[in-house]
Homo-oligomer: A and B are copies of this chain.
């Protein structure tokens, strides 16, 4: 239940592809550190690695997490090196007494530690440049097992290293995410490609979709022909499903444009971005490039839409203002929603949403104004307006569009996230020359209307 309905469409789409998967390379990962093991921090380094592997058409076979105990580390290095071809190890390279990976791997390999004079000179120079004495703790970071090869860390004090045990390469990386990611991208992957002859060039294309179910997308794309060397994967991240198309090798890369066109032809309506990872980011860039301005009037989302846009630097160029009008008074006073409309139709109604958007737009004569008003629950529902009922409107100088969607009995957070995405998509569609009011298979619109501005 927790997994995809039909895995073969997600991870692999055809038998031809399987041949290109280098399944002979058994890749594992070992995460070390008490705070990861105890759940005190979420191991985003691990999910990033698995995802990055997948982006290159490679697969992780197993991931293990252990704490900082020396014996546990020695044991897991010995054990997994008997199974895997290459293991990425993360964490445990720092200067403190509980950073034990180097010591442990030396024991596991049956070799001594010795100082790497080059790294010591590098560290001493680093501290000298900053006019600070090098703490004696850092000397520890100059020690390497005699059979290990140092891996440069251009931005930190802990060097990486790789060492072969039981015929398996263990590749050690620091836990600091910025150092870790740079080392994996600049050194681990080139090493992997060279060592295991994964030398072909690769490319990855992503489609961000909104309002379509993952299974439905997979079914629609099921018989898209993938050339040898191509894989297609799905990554759901509510309220978005990302589709990744990966190509390895010149012939697959050459065939990619045709495949992407085929995908666009089949699910074009679902695609909200081919460049960015959220609807807000796409809208941010569209507003910037089109030099348009926007105002927001948010009730149930409570400022979330504003905050999502202002997350991106440069948003001051287009953001006039956002009004979080949770109360009827705020709707009337700040946005000029008429008391009669609120009384006759209610705060959650297309009529109120429309007046909110028009009122927000007129404050500074913005090019666009977006409004949302809805019932995010768990309280506040009525017979006619169940939880998840959300009205939203887009106003421009010439036209207004309004719709009421039924987002169902989801959690308060999910209803608000989905509302933000669907509302932002109204602007995106307008800026892209599409009809503002979309028909999303997964989102039930109970009312949709378009009005010329008078």
Contacts and interface: CB of A to CB of B under 8 A. Distances in A.
Interface of A: 1-7, 10-11, 33-51, 53-54, 59-68, 72, 76, 90-96, 98-99, 156, 158, 174-176, 179, 233-236, 296, 298, 300-307, 309-311, 313-316, 319-327, 329-330, 333-334, 363-364, 376-380, 412-413, 416
A174 B2 contact: yes
B66 A62 contact: yes
Nearest to A141: B1
Given A72-B61, A303-B307, A311-B412, A3 B33 contact: yes
Contact of A315 (B322, B326, B330): B326
A39 B35 contact: no
Q: How many copies does the complex hold?
A: 2
B59 A49 contact: no
A158 B1 CA distance: 9
Nearest to A46: B39
Given A7-B34, A54-B38, A94-B3, A302 B310 contact: yes
A66 to B, nearest CB: 5
B50 A38 contact: yes
A324 B330 contact: no
A330 to B, nearest CB: 4
Given A1-B176, A38-B60, A39-B54, A322 B323 contact: yes
Contacts of A301: 307, 310
Contact of A65 (B10, B63, B234, B322): B63
A333 to B, nearest CB: 6
